[in-house]
């Protein structure tokens, strides 16, 4: 996709583009300086002329609408949504706080190998965000949890980004025939059928944890009866492996029923692990 803006260009007489952060089917994301405040921001831009499917614009507008409602320290703050008309095009923009750090995918590519404790802490943080999203009224389902969309900051805190695939469950009920969105390797079976429930995000989180443990896409790991067979590929405690086993169950009813339940299981695990270690000393 050709770039909409060049470094140094100013959008809407306010945002000075400083870098390109990434691009995909949902537009191009830039780093910029808000010249009114001096803050660094992230701007996602979508060109109407380059849209091949009306669904893309619908998802973009839904992302802006949902982001405007969210208030969580691990989700970058929503700042603005606007459009700019030109003679030949109409461009749409979402502006958010820019989170400093690197994605988990980038961290792995650059040689980061987290310990089991590191990965446990990341997992718990993501579950806290999912508890917040899934317990909203109506629940918000991210639908694209993956290493590229989780930013690891210098203070070891995470941020969940890119809500381009987001849906709220009320609207999902009305759009039963919606286009499949998500990322291969991180999508459970129901998502391929266009269905998403809160447990869909839990599967994607489990797949993300597998990537952190193995450095490989979950799609590249062996399967037995449609379930990822990971135990020979990881070296983790049996308790963490049991949690992961349940998170990536292909059948929704066999997975954790909620992020809160998944976090409780994981918290009990780590408490049991600490007790076991203490008793062995």
pLDDT in tens, the chain (281 residues): 567 899 999 999 999 999 999 887 678 999 999 999 999 999 999 999 888 778 889 989 999 999 999 999 999 999 999 999 998 899 999 999 999 999 999 999 999 999 999 999 999 999 999 999 999 999 999 999 999 999 999 999 999 999 887 765 433 333 334 556 789 999 999 999 999 999 999 999 999 999 999 999 999 999 998 899 999 999 999 999 999 999 999 999 999 999 999 999 999 866 665 555 455 45
Do residue 200 and residue 260 come from a single domain? Answer: yes
91: annotated active-site residue: no
CATH number at residue 35: 3.30.200.20
CATH number at residue 140: 1.10.510.10
Domain total of the chain = 2
Residues 110 and 169: beta-carbon distance below 8 Å? no
Name the domain boundary from 97, 118, 147: 97
d(CA 226, CA 51) in angstroms, rounded, equals 35
Q: Is 227 annotated as a binding residue?
A: no
Name the domain boundary from 34, 64, 97: 97
226: alpha, beta or left, given left = phi > 0 and alpha = psi -120 to 50?
left
pLDDT in tens, 198-221: 999 999 999 999 999 999 999 999
Do residue 92 and residue 114 come from a single domain? Answer: no
**Of 124, 126, 116, nearest to 238 (Cα)?**
116
Which residue range(s) make up the domain with 75? 10-97
Give the three-state DSSP class for 149.
Answer: helix
- Give domain status of residue 3, yes or no: no
259-280 and 238-247 are packed helices; what angle lies between their axes, rounded to 10 degrees?
170
- Give domain status of residue 180, yes or no: yes
Considering the candidates 34, 39, 53, 144, report the single residue annotated as catalytic. Answer: 144
Residue 154 phi/psi, 5° resolution?
-60, -30
Do residue 65 and residue 110 come from a single domain? Answer: no
């Amino acid at each position: 996709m050709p770039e909409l803006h060049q470094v140094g260009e100013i959008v809407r007489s306010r945002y000075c583009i400083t870098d390109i952060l990434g691009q995909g089917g949902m537009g191009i994301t830039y780093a910029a300086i808000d010249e009114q405040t001096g803050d660094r921001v992230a701007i996602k831009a979508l060109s109407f002329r380059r849209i091949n499917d009306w669904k893309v614009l619908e998802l973009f507008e839904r992302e802006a609408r949902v982001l405007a409602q969210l208030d969580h320290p691990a989700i970058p703050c929503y700042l603005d949504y606007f459009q700019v008309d030109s003679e030949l095009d109409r461009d749409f923009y979402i502006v958010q706080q820019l989170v400093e750090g690197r994605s988990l995918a980038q961290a792995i590519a650059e040689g980061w190998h987290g310990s089991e404790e590191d990965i446990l802490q990341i997992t718990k943080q993501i579950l806290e965000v999912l508890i917040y999203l899934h317990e909203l009224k109506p629940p918000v389902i991210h639908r694209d949890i993956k290493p590229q969309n989780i930013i690891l900051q210098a203070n070891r805190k995470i941020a969940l980004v890119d809500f381009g695939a987001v849906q709220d469950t009320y609207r999902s009920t009305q759009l039963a025939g919606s286009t499949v969105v998500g990322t291969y390797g991180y999508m459970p079976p129901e998502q391929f059928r266009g269905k998403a429930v809160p447990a869909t995000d839990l599967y994607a989180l489990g797949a993300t944890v597998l990537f952190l443990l193995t450095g490989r896409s979950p799609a590249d790991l062996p399967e037995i009866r449609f379930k990822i067979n990971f135990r020979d590929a990881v070296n983790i405690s049996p308790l963490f492996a049991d949690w992961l086993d349940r998170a990536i169950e292909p059948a929704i009813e066999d997975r954790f029923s909620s992020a809160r339940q998944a976090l409780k299981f994981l918290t009990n695990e780590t408490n049991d692990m600490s007790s076991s270690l203490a008793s062995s000393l």
